Amino acid sequence: MYRYMIVDVFTETPLAGNPVAVLLDATGLTTGQMQSIAVETHLSETTFVLPPQGAADVRVRIFTPTGELPFAGHPTLGTAVALAQSTARRTLIMETMVGDVEFTFDRTDDRAVSASMRQPVPVWEPYEHAATLAGGLGVSPAEPTVYAYRNGPRHVLFPVRDIEELSRLQPDLRVLSTLPDMSAFCFAGHGTHWRARMFSPAYGVAEDAATGSAAGPLAVHLARHGRIGYGKQIEIRQGVEMGRPSTMLATAWGHGDRFEAVEVAGAAVIVGRGEFLIEGAATSEPATVQPSLYR
């Protein structure tokens, strides 16, 4: 029996935000079984907690219904908050395929209710298929150059004119599905308040309610172009058009095109618990979250 939680991420309200399924101890599952479970949950991401291979506290693998991701924002933050319920620790270091990610928790009544993560600093380049993407979205970009940022996933930050235009978007997912290895992260706003929508048939997600791995790159992008100051926290609202409102907080520290750190923060709430019975798994022992997974 493999215990899991359903966590709504980047929200304090149950059944809002972006859900993730967290298998609390996936020891004994094969990669194929993990992928099948991700298809079974039918969520944008499912995570699998494992003992660390290095100096981190835990190792986490992240699967969409179509494949494994090296890193993602809302799944890792939701996993960290889920794991923090069984410990009084204020920090957690999570091993991912792009390196170790550190989390710091805010607690109420000894329970973690929100977390901040230090994300990998992204690299960026002009996006080579900007014209095709604009055609699929049905709008022209509001900036002369469209950039792709990579911090594990590849997010194409597509600026639109205003929030009204953002809300009206009805992308042709058939066109977007021809663009490999990318998500279209469309954004509008000003100052420290921004709205976003994300479309990614390539990652098996028609529209995402909260894309934490794109929140950090948006802060980097805005700082690079003088739209916000370095070290200035921004608020990003996403999922509004889906009826799953989410709030992400992002900060980028640096100067010019040099960045020292990127932080993304938000709340999460546990909305469900259950067990998977997986016949033929490599272990017959019940899977539980053990304190030994926390160094």
Residues linked to residue 275 through DSSP beta bridges, in sequence order = 3
DSSP string, 194-213: EEEEEEEGGGTEEEES--HH
DSSP string, the chain: -EEEEEEEES-SSTT-SEEEEEES--TT--HHHHHHHHHHHTSS-EEEEE--SSSSSEEEEEE-SS-EES--HHHHHHHHHHHHTT---SEEEEEETTEEEEEEEEEETTEEEEEEEEEPPPEEEE-TTHHHHHHHHTS--SSS--EEEESSSEEEEEE-S-HHHHHH----HHHHTTS-S-EEEEEEEETTEEEEEEEEGGGTEEEES--HHHHHHHHHHHHHTTSS-TT--EEEEE-GGGT--EEEEEEEEEETTEEEEEEEEEEEEEEEEEEE--TT-S--SPB---GGG--
Establish whether 45 is a catalytic residue: yes
| Token pair for 52 | 């660390």
Residue 1 · residue 286 · CB < 8 Å: yes
Judged on CB neighbours under 10 Å (0-12, 13-18, 19+), 232 is middle
Of the residues 45, 95, 207, 263, only one is catalytic, namely 45
Residue 60 · residue 95 · CB < 8 Å: yes
Catalytic residues: 45
